[in-house]
């Protein structure tokens, strides 16, 4: 065992914000630990991290006691502090959650209660008070959440990588994993390089289930990709800050919302439609093997049967700009089709169980000499610092036992 030449102690697959936060947390908790990060792209944060709305979530949506609730509340405060310390663009703006239909009012009130249970300051607003924050927004009632913010998550990921001191190898896609109890873990990249570590950490995002299977572990879930499509608002002056609809608790998506980013522009979206590839950022991107894998998963068909009405509405808004504009007008009546300019899309890595259950919380599982992050959708960027510490704790524990 001592004759094996390890390239590192901990080998992290995935250079998004969770993988780089994990590397950062490992080197902070155990100085001298050698960490290597393998990222298949030419730079960090090219997928989920760099293709979201840039919101530092407060934690108001999440079930009290869940990992999402605990890590989002803690992570939001830590993210603001991290951005300030490293001079990364950010702002604590607060946001409105607006009910536009009477049937949404009980759900809005439930969010008030949930926010208070999670220790989040919430102000309830009547219809006339909405204009104090957003003069162009209309609704029956709203709540203002003061701890919500915005930041440059791609910039955060870059800084985490730099501050970690880890070796980061870009253009290094993991295509095979050889794990042996006495010899650690060896990963072969598409370029043919072999990197050896004592412990593997899987933060591969959209491909995390595939990396788990390469390692020899059964993830018990499959990533089903959902694309979120965005527009930019040509008349950015219509929106001052962040405006959200009341979400439906039956779905893990927050609905089409309005987000003024750190660059001053306003993003509108996303919707949620099935992607035809794990990195399917448009209808024209189809990868037959990945699509076949999704269609072969029983959970994907269970979702379709259970939520086809919701899905049909999302597809309509994807294919019709008029329908998308109509959804936006429920919050912002002054918006027109001409105000919406197509912008980049993102893909959410949604873990789905065999029975069609959408995994709602963060999901981290362990194998021999391996830690797998199997569900880390929004608010993972917000919560990346505490998530990174938790994954690091497990990786260091596995390292101590190796």
CA distance 320 to 308: 18
Distance of CA 108 to the CA centre of its chain: 23
* Fold match between domain 8-48+155-221+360-401 and domain 223-358: no
Q: In what helix (H) or strand (E) does residue 138 lie, and over which residues does it extend? A: none
> What residue ranges do the domains of the chain occupy?
8-48+155-221+360-401, 95-146, 223-358
Category of 356 on φ-ψ map: left (φ > 0), alpha (ψ -120 to 50) or beta: left
Q: What are the tokens at 226?
A: 């959902």
Expressed in percent and rounded to 5, the helix, strand and coil fractions of the chain are 35, 25, 40
Write down the CATH superfamily of domain 8-48+155-221+360-401.
Answer: FAD/NAD(P)-binding domain (3.50.50.60)
> One digit per residue, pLDDT tens: the chain, 402 residues?
456 789 999 999 999 999 999 999 999 999 999 999 999 999 999 999 999 989 999 999 999 999 999 999 999 999 999 999 999 999 999 999 999 999 999 999 999 999 999 999 999 999 999 999 999 999 999 999 999 999 999 999 999 999 999 999 999 999 999 998 568 999 999 999 999 999 999 999 999 999 999 999 999 999 999 999 999 999 999 999 999 999 887 666 778 899 999 999 999 999 999 999 999 999 999 999 999 999 999 999 999 998 888 889 899 999 999 999 999 999 999 999 999 999 999 999 999 999 999 999 999 999 999 999 999 999 999 999 999 999 999 999 999 987
CATH architecture of 223-358: 2-Layer Sandwich (3.30)
The Cα diameter of the chain in Å comes to 73
Measuring CA to CA, how many Å separate 252 from each of 62, 207, 282, 352, 383?
A: 10, 19, 21, 12, 16
CA distance 303 to 323: 23
CA distance 380 to 132: 31
């Amino acid at each position: 065992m001592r004759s094996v030449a390890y390239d590192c102690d901990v080998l992290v697959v995935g250079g998004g914000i969770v993988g780089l936060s994990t590397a950062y947390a490992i080197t902070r908790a155990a100085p001298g630990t050698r960490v290597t990060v393998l990222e298949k792209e030419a730079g960090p944060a090219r997928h989920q991290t760099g293709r979201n709305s840039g919101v530092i979530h407060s934690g108001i949506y999440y079930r009290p006691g869940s990992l999402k609730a605990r890590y989002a509340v803690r992570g939001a405060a830590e993210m603001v502090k991290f951005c300030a310390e490293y001079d990364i663009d950010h702002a604590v703006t607060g946001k409105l959650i607006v009910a536009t239909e009477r049937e949404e009012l009980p759900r809005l009130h439930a969010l008030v209660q949930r926010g208070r249970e999670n220790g989040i300051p919430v102000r309830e607003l009547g219809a006339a008070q909405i204009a104090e924050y957003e003069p162009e927004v209309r609704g029956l009632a709203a709540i203002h959440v003061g701890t919500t913010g915005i930041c440059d998550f791609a910039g955060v990921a870059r800084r985490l990588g730099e501050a970690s001191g880890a070796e980061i190898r870009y253009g290094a896609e993991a295509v095979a994993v050889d794990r042996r109890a006495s010899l650690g873990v060896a990963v072969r990249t598409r370029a043919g390089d072999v990197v050896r570590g004592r412990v593997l950490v899987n933060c591969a995002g959209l491909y995390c289930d595939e990396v788990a299977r390469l390692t020899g572990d059964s993830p018990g879930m499959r990533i089903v990709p959902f694309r979120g499509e965005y527009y930019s608002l040509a008349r950015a002056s219509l929106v001052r800050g962040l405006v959200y609809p009341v979400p439906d608790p039956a779905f893990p998506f927050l609905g089409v919302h309005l987000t003024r980013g750190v660059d001053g522009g306003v993003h509108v979206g996303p919707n949620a439609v099935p992607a035809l590839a794990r990195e399917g950022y448009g209808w024209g991107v189809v990868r037959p093997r990945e699509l076949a894998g999704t269609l072969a998963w029983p959970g994907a068909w269970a979702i379709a049967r259970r939520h086809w009405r919701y899905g049909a509405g999302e597809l309509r808004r994807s294919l019709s700009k008029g329908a998308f504009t109509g959804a936006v007008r429920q919050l912002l009546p002054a918006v027109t089709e001409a105000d919406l300019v197509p912008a980049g899309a993102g893909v959410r890595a949604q873990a789905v169980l065999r029975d069609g259950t959408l995994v709602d919380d963060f999901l981290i599982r362990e194998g021999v000499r391996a830690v797998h992050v199997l569900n880390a959708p929004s608010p993972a960027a917000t919560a990346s610092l505490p998530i990174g510490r938790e994954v690091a704790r497990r990786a260091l524990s596995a390292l101590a036992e190796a």
